[in-house]
Chain A
Amino acid sequence: MYRLRFHGRGGQGMKTASRILGAAFFLAGFEVQDAPRYGAERRGAPIFAYVRASRTPINERGIIRRPDLIIVADETLVAIPAAGVLAGITARTVLLISSAETPEVWRQRLNLAGPVITLPRSGTLTDPHELRFIGAACAGAAARLVGVIPRDCLAQAIRDELAHLGAAVVARDQEVALEAYDLLAEHAGCVAEIPETPADTYEKPRWIDLPFDAANLAAPDIFAPASSEMVPTGLWRTVRPVIDYERCRRCAWICSTLCPDSTIRVNEEGFPQIDYEHCKGCLICMTSCPSHAIRAVPEEEAGKATG
């Protein structure tokens, strides 16, 4: 059985990627399970989606504990523990990261023993507003890495899954997915099906007897007011609004009022300032700025842009 896991952010199409890959496996004659996994749905928040595929009926369900392939659409997630990108990774797990860095860099950064493959942002996917197609690229790449999905099944799967969005979207997703599929030809079939732990040599679960804790510890209370401020929701951002103060006309009432998360404050000189700890990157400020002084910078390049 193949067990694959996609990691990305809400809005990057991870659920769609898992469905495209699931449908492609299904068209190629496999039994399939595909499912997204998230808490309260939020754009930019870490989500994952998984796919199981097998020649025989699947007697498994829920999260994948030991993935054969981990696909990371957004490299900034690797450092966020809550995203769980590396959960259950083994020496046989293939890690595919959409990244401009080399596989060697990632292998060293994460001290990984297993194979790492990077999917460079392709020539047609450099525009930050096209990031929503990253899911299709990941699905195409994954289809090639497992090596058992013919190219036409991938194309058909995209048609089946996205037909309701119109021919143009289907064509663009096919283009992006097939480009990734072709790009990774040399790695075709590198993903192996890791066998499940046999029942005669398993490691005993380390169960404990849960101790009694007094209610002042064990009640799920929040005592501090305004504690949501402590949640760095800025981590959900994929694209960062950056203000060009040369062009800003200081009509800061507009952007600061329209920001749905109240992350734009106005300084003493009347200039708007964005709180990047909490800005989720919705870009409402950018679209509403009368003087076009706000531009969108992909988060991975934002360090350079905002210095």
Chain B
Amino acid sequence: MTRVLLTGNGAAAWGARLAGVDYVPAFPITPQTEIIETLAHWMDDGLMDSRLVTLESEHSMMTAAGAAAAAGVRVFTATSSQGLLYAMEMLYTVAGWRAPFVLVNVSRGLSAPITLEPDHNDILAARDSGFLQLHCATCQEVLDTVLLAFLLAEDQKVRLPVIVNMDGFYLSFTREPVEIPEADAARAFVGPFEPGNIRFRASAPVSQAVAVLSGTAYSYFRYEMHLASLNGLAVYDELAAEFAQKFGRRHDAVETYRSADAEIVFVMIGSFALKAKAAVDRLRLAGHRIGLVRPRLLRPFPEARLREILGGKKGAAVIDQNISLGKGGVLFAELASALYGHQDMPILTSFIGGLGGRDLAPEEFYEMAAITRQAAQSGQAPPPRLLYTEEELLEVRKLQAIAQAERERLGVSAPAR
């Protein structure tokens, strides 16, 4: 096993390489492109025995991925943000085909206004598509999770595509030490793809995407997908346990950090959760019983496990790096629905932070902990809070003033609305 410095993108590429993928349909988009570039170089140098094809769009790329998976080969692909959205029609479609493959999404905020930095509104737009979702917090996790994701997708009890998610910049372009498993050990773990009855072949037409004109048939097919997704919870647990035994690294469906005896916990997904760990350590030094709970699986959502972990806690600060416009934090709503109606569940406070890569300061974690403690004491949760400071608004006001001055200088005014 070699420990080297790798970016999240490099780690994703290593995952695909070690899984022995056969086919990589590709389309570039920042901050994902480095993944397919790396794979292309390796194939060029004869280090990977697989085929990379560039398509003319993410929509076609996703179609190619689903079609190839339906032909019984192991497929890997990657995208981000606008690309994921452009492929959205096919995301739902290929999941409906029950075609198992692995898609890495490198999270990036959505347009408009367009940005390059991360938040989770892109990946959450795919929440209901049938793809399973695994969210990573470190580059090591990205590599390991890609390996796990193939087994999860291909398992007969699941047979659905899987998205492995990492944050743009914070993981995709950040190097940190990553242990690359030995190729033999990785291949022994992942094994060959056993496609079973997934067999598109030349001159042997079959259809894997029939039309059904009755709610009866439609409900059956869709609910079967739901059940398959839920099966993913148990399958994932088994796979993670086997992985931990073979490689010595645990990637539980829900990561907990110093939460066993905690009264208050932070709940968040993705790489910003690492910041919460540092805050937990320092809050512990200041005498607070606090921890972190980080779901790695978002679909299927590990509800029972979360109830187990959160039961008996006094408060949970849910930090959403996303916003469902007109509602609020998605993770907050998901967690609330998982806990509602059960005994001894903590009060939940809701925070929106990190939109478009906006940083989260240590002081903000301390304050969120304090607010959640107060909510637990009073039994009354405050309204959701956007993490946004006076200085930040001043900065925006300054930009707006410049825009206004330039408009006046040019003699153009904003159109009346």
Q: Is the CB of B288 within 8 A of A34?
A: no
In the complex, B415 has a CB within 8 A of chain A: yes
Q: Which A residues are in CB contact (< 8 Å) with B361?
A: 65, 205
Per a CB cutoff under 8 Å, which of A199, A204, A208 touches B285? A199
Q: Is the CB of A198 within 8 A of B282?
A: yes
Q: Which A residues are in CB contact (< 8 Å) with B385?
A: 207
Cα separation A39 to B357 with both chains bound (whole Å):
12
In the complex, B37 has a CB within 8 A of chain A: no
Cα separation A33 to B8 with both chains bound (whole Å):
11
Q: Is the CB of A216 within 8 A of B417?
A: yes
Q: Is the CB of A208 within 8 A of B390?
A: yes
Q: Is the CB of B407 within 8 A of A199?
A: no
Known A-B contacts A33-B174, A200-B286; A60 and B274 likewise in contact (beta carbons under 8 Å): yes
Q: How many residues of A contact B (CB 8 A)?
A: 44
Q: Which B residues are in CB contact (< 8 Å) with A65?
A: 359, 361
Among listed B209-217, B311-319, B363-371, interface-contacting one = B363-371
Which residues of chain B from 231 to 284 have any CB-CB distance to chain A below 8 Å in the complex?
271-272, 274-275, 277-279, 281-283
Q: Shortest distance in angstroms between A6's beta carbon and chain B's nearest beta carbon? A: 14
In the complex, B176 has a CB within 8 A of chain A: yes
Cα separation A81 to B327 with both chains bound (whole Å):
36
Per a CB cutoff under 8 Å, which of B272, B363, B388 touches A204? B363
In the complex, A130 has a CB within 8 A of chain B: no
Q: Which A residues are in CB contact (< 8 Å) with B369?
A: 199
Cα separation A224 to B359 with both chains bound (whole Å):
31
Contact flags A54-72 to B (C-beta < 8 A → 1, else 0): 0000111111010000000
Q: Is the CB of A196 within 8 A of B362?
A: yes
Q: Is the CB of A208 within 8 A of B393?
A: yes
Q: Shortest distance in angstroms between B30's beta carbon and chain A's nearest beta carbon? A: 8
Contact flags B128-166 to A (C-beta < 8 A → 1, else 0): 000000000000000000000000000000000000000
Main secondary structure on A side of the interface with B: loop
In the complex, A32 has a CB within 8 A of chain B: yes
Q: Shortest distance in angstroms between B255's beta carbon and chain A's nearest beta carbon? A: 13
In the complex, B169 has a CB within 8 A of chain A: yes
Q: Is the CB of B412 within 8 A of A206?
A: no
A-B interface pairs (CB < 8 A), number:
124
Q: What bracket does the count of chain B residues touching chain A fall in?
A: 35 or more
Cα separation A260 to B301 with both chains bound (whole Å):
51
Q: Is the CB of B175 within 8 A of A34?
A: yes
Q: Is the CB of B5 within 8 A of A35?
A: no
Cα separation A26 to B178 with both chains bound (whole Å):
12
Q: Is the CB of B175 within 8 A of A35?
A: yes
Cα separation A36 to B385 with both chains bound (whole Å):
30
Q: Which A residues are in CB contact (< 8 Å) with B359?
A: 62-63, 65
In the complex, B177 has a CB within 8 A of chain A: yes
Q: Is the CB of B173 within 8 A of A223?
A: no
> Who on chain A is nearest to B388 by CB?
A210
Q: Which A residues are in CB contact (< 8 Å) with B415?
A: 216, 223
Cα separation A227 to B369 with both chains bound (whole Å):
45
Q: Is the CB of B406 within 8 A of A32?
A: no
In the complex, B400 has a CB within 8 A of chain A: yes
In the complex, B410 has a CB within 8 A of chain A: yes
Q: Shortest distance in angstroms between B34's beta carbon and chain A's nearest beta carbon? A: 12
In the complex, B414 has a CB within 8 A of chain A: yes
Q: Shortest distance in angstroms between B169's beta carbon and chain A's nearest beta carbon? A: 7
Cα separation A35 to B390 with both chains bound (whole Å):
29
Central interface residue in A59, A61, A200, by most chain B CB within 10 Å: A61
Q: Is the CB of B389 within 8 A of A207?
A: yes
Which residues of chain A from 199 to 229 have any CB-CB distance to chain B below 8 Å in the complex?
199-200, 202-210, 214-217, 220-221, 223-224, 227
Q: Is the CB of B410 within 8 A of A224?
A: yes
Q: Shortest distance in angstroms between B321's beta carbon and chain A's nearest beta carbon? A: 12
Q: Which B residues are in CB contact (< 8 Å) with A217?
A: 400
Q: Is the CB of B387 within 8 A of A207?
A: yes
Task: List the interface of chain B (C-beta within 8 A of A).
Answer: 5, 112-113, 116, 169-170, 173-177, 271-272, 274-275, 277-279, 281-283, 285-288, 357, 359, 361-364, 366-367, 369, 385-391, 393, 400, 406-407, 410, 412-417
Q: Beyond A34-B175, A59-B274, A199-B283: 5 further Cβ-contacts under 8 Å?
A: A33-B176, A59-B277, A199-B286, A205-B389, A210-B388
9 A-B pairs with the lowest CB-CB distances in the bound complex, closest first = A200-B286, A35-B174, A59-B278, A220-B113, A199-B286, A59-B277, A199-B282, A206-B390, A199-B283
